[in-house]
Amino acid sequence: MELVFEGNDEKLNVKVIGDIVADSAGELRESILQLLSRKPEEICLDLAEMPFIDTSGLGVLIGLRTHLKKHSVKLTIINPQDRVLHVFRLTQISKLFGME
Amino acid sequence: MGGKSALELLEGRQPRVLACDDSEVNLAMVTRVLERGAFHVTRAHSGEEVLETVERQPFDLVLIDINLPGINGIDVCRKLREQQTSRVYLPIIMLTANTEKHARVTALQAGATDFITKPFNPDELLARIHNHIAAKRLHDHLFTMNQILEEEQAKVFKVQTGLLPASFPTVDGLRFGGAYKPFSMAGGDFYDAFERPDGTIILAISDISGHGIPAAMHMSTLRATLHSEADAGADLITIMERLNRILCYCLDPYSFVTFYLATFNPQTGELIHTCAGHHPPLLHDLESNVIKEIPVPITIPMGVDLEEFEPKCSTHQIMPGQRLYLYTDGIIEQRDRAGNFFEMAGLTVTLKSHLQSHVEFIPSLIMATLEKYLEGRDQSDDLTMLVMETPKDAPDKE
């Protein structure tokens, strides 16, 4: 997994390239939590280049959402691939990210 | 090892070296050097004697001349390595003449740890032996620690396996099958099927994100709560809400639990079910050999949010001669060597091919198919499946 950071301090875009699975989920969590020091209003995960996410990955997204909410930072998700969107909808995690 | 680590056993004990040379003069010289280095030395004069002695007592290192009458040093080395188990690591140092460059390569290939060229510098010999014995002790210590961890993990696995239903309800010709294949020794899936005091059957399947001991502990909490609530006559929504509340308090924020819960009435064939972030069940009509996903209202997974968790129930009529499959996502998310997912298609095709198989074996047959699909690679998630089959004849409605 690789992360590409873009955007300004108000809205940070993070492009995820590769799978978020048990091996990479921890790295994603740490990288996103580090962004908190820049005090953004929103962190947006662009998942256009993420083919697969497993339960550990979903756990990190859910945990990050809760954690960022406490710091009044909104975590959003854009451009999920069909397979990933299906998982988000099936598990209703889409609801937590306002993706419906 | 009786609870004592190899390091503890060796610590304070004089390191034991087995030295072998057919020349009495050389052996005496080596012994003198080693004893000066505070090693305990046992002497051998032939390869046969080395093999016999090593079998009788443990050593920390073997020092052996490459040229021996009878079995030569290289063959002794090869034999020692053949007999070696992962429990015991025995460093072997070869003594060679400066002219034997090729023999040194052969010795290393035969499993020698190191070699010393004759005539040797006593300090170099002692320093090398010290280093190899230190490495051996570290190996033995790590081996013991690893063994303790594996034993502990096996205990957790045993406790966890004990939490799965030992037997299935024996009601009205219903037949069940279940299989659970964790990703590591302890996993995060569970399934259950049991009869309530009112004669209805509870069916449950769950996937706890993550694996290992924490997941196994949450699994036992879930199961205990499910049983006590279900036996006390709680309805499905109440059970789901209680489980969610418990998990919201005890789960770390980066974990969640998906849960499917149903009651089945064997008299009427009515299935009432609810779901939190889990895959809906599949229904297999055996006469037409058609498999369909049956709809169930799904709310967010458990352990995430108290307010947004809104479980709802729906009812589905199960007909005679149908199979209901509950499964975890690991089943459809395994990938072959080329990266292709097993997918729902892989699952339904396999289930259809087992139309004639006894329901008790279906989950194990699916696990076997997945093992083949993985082509020898490790599974990437826990694999769990529960099946219930209704009898072909209509249930008795007296």
Query: Does A63 contact B253 at a Cβ distance shorter than 8 Å?
Result: yes
In chain B, what residues touch A62 (CB-CB under 8 Å)? 253-254, 256, 301, 304
**Contact call for A63 and B301, based on CB within 8 A:** no
Rg over alpha carbons for chain A, rounded to the nearest Å, is 12
- The answer, yes or no, to whether residue B7 has pLDDT greater than 50, is no
| DSSP-based three-state secondary structure for B141 | helix
More confident residue, B183 or A26: A26
Work out the minimum CA distance from B209 to partner chain A, whole angstroms. Answer: 5
Q: What is the mean pLDDT of each run of 10 residues along chain A (100 residues)?
A: 87 93 90 92 95 90 94 94 93 88
H-helix segments, chain B = 6-10, 24-36, 47-56, 73-83, 101-109, 122-163, 212-231, 236-250, 343-353, 362-373
Domains, chain A, ordered by start: 2-96 (3.30.750.24)
CB contact under 8 A, B304 and A96: yes
Residue B1, pLDDT > 60, answer no
Element (H, E) at A86: helix A82-90
Mean pLDDT of B355-365: 94
Q: Average of pLDDT values for B223-237?
A: 94
Q: CB neighbours of A64 closer than 8 A, spacing ≥ 6?
A: A29, A32, A33, A75, B254
- When pLDDT is averaged across residues B120-126 and rounded to a whole number, the result is 92
Cβ of residue A92 closer than 8 Å to a chain B Cβ: yes
With the CA atoms of B194, B196, B198 and B204 taken in that order, what torsion angle do they form, in degrees rounded to the nearest 10?
-70
The Cα–Cα gap between B233 and A2 comes to 50
> B323-342: buried (b, 16+ CB within 10 Å) or exposed (e) per residue?
bbbbbbbbbbbbbeeeeeeb
Smallest CA–CA separation between A93 and chain B, in Å?
A: 6
Residue pair A22/A59 in contact by the 8 Å Cβ criterion: no
Specify the pLDDT at position A54. 87
Average pLDDT value for residue range B293-314: 96
- pLDDT at residue B398 is higher than 50: no
| Chain B: residue whose CA lies nearest to A93 | B300
> Residue A86's closest chain B neighbor by CA?
B279
* DSSP assignments along B311-326, one per residue: ---EEEEPPTTEEEEE
Instruction: Provide the residue type at B332 as one letter.
Output: I
Which residues in chain A are closer than 8 Å to B298, comparing Cβ atoms?
90-92
Identify the weakest region by mean pLDDT among B228-242, B291-305, B370-384. Answer: B370-384
Tell whether A69 is within 8 A of chain B (Cβ).
Answer: no
Let me know: does B186 contact B210? Beta carbons within 8 Å. Answer: no
Q: Cβ–Cβ of B207/A66 closer than 8 Å?
A: no
Angle, CA B314 vertex, CA B310 and CA B318 arms, to 5°: 150
pLDDT beyond 80 at B220: yes
CA atoms of B271 and B275, how far apart (whole Å): 13
CA dist B256 and A93 (Å) reads 11
Confidence check: pLDDT of B31 > 90: yes
CA nearest neighbour of B50 among B40, B60, B37, B63 = B63
Closest Cα to residue B261, out of B224, B220, B312, B199? Answer: B312
pLDDT at B210 over 90: no
DSSP tag of B39: -
Interface test with chain B among A23, A62, A100, by most B beta carbons within 10 Å: A62
Instruction: Out of B11-25, B163-177, B208-222, pick the least confident.
Output: B208-222
d(CA A90, nearest CA chain B) in Å: 6
Between the alpha carbon of residue B42 and those of residues B39, B71, B382, the distances in Å are: 10, 19, 52
Q: Would you state the pLDDT for residue B4?
A: 44
Whether the CB of A66 is below 8 Å from some CB of chain B: the reply is: yes
For A19-61, the DSSP string reads -B-HHHHHHHHHHHHHHGGG--SEEEEEEEE---B-HHHHHHH
ipTM at complex level:
0.89
| Overall residue count recorded for chain B in this entry | 398
Q: Is the pLDDT of residue B8 over 50?
A: no
The residues on B that touch A, with CB distances below 8 Å, are 207, 209-210, 252-256, 258, 276-279, 298-301, 304-305, 308, 329, 333, 380-381
Confidence (pLDDT) at B197? 92
DSSP characters for B200-239?
A: -EEEEEEEESS-HHHHHHHHHHHHHHHHHHHHTT--HHHH
* Residue range B6-153 in CATH 3.40.50.2300: yes
CA distance B387 to A40: 49
pLDDT class of B158 with cuts at 50, 70, 90: confident
A63 and B254 in contact by Cβ < 8 A? yes
Confidence band, pLDDT 50/70/90 cuts, at residue B216: confident
pLDDT of B185 reads: 63
pLDDT for B355 beyond 60: yes
Q: How many residues does chain A have?
A: 100
3-state class (DSSP) for residue B178: strand
Q: Are B386 and B363 in contact (CB under 8 A)?
A: yes
Per-residue confidence (pLDDT) for residue B349, from 0 to 100: 95
Query: Which position has the token pair 């499959």?
Result: B325
Residue-wise DSSP of B43-66: EESSHHHHHHHHHHS--SEEEEES
C-alpha A3/C-alpha A27 separation (Å) is 10
Contacts of B305 in chain A (CB under 8 A): 96
Measured between beta carbons, the chain A residues lying within 8 angstroms of B300 are 91-93, 95-96
Q: Pick the residue of B209, B378, B382 with the most A CBs within 10 A to test the interface with A by mutation.
A: B209
At residue B11, the pLDDT reads: 57
Is B29's pLDDT higher than 70?
yes
Give B277's contacts in chain A (Cβ within 8 Å).
90-93
At a CB cut-off of 8 Å and minimum separation 6, what does B368 contact?
none
pLDDT band at residue B368 under the 50/70/90 scheme: very high
Q: Specify the DSSP class assigned to residue B14.
A: P
Token pair in block for residue B62: 């073997």
Look at residue B186 in the predicted model and tell me its pLDDT.
62
Within chain B, all domains assigned CATH 3.40.50.2300 are found at 6-153
Q: Is the pLDDT of residue B362 over 90?
A: yes
Looking at residue B31, what DSSP letter applies? Answer: H
pLDDT value at residue B155 = 82
Return residue ranges of chain B for CATH 3.60.40.10: 164-389
Chain A to chain B Cβ contacts (< 8 Å) = 60
Check CB contact under 8 Å for A95 and B308: yes
Stretch among A25-39, A74-88, B179-193, B317-331 having the lowest mean pLDDT? B179-193
Alpha-carbon gap: A38 to the closest alpha carbon of chain B (Å)? 22
pLDDT tens string B77-114: 999 988 877 667 899 999 987 777 788 888 899 999 99
Largest CA distance in chain A: 34
Chosen for mutation from B254, B331, B383 (greatest number of chain A CBs closer than 10 Å) is B254
Distance separating alpha carbons of residues B239 and B224, to the nearest angstrom: 12
Mean pLDDT of B231-257: 93
Q: Is 80 exceeded by the pLDDT of residue B157?
A: no
CATH number of B164-389: 3.60.40.10
Residues of B in contact with A63 (CB under 8 A): 252-255
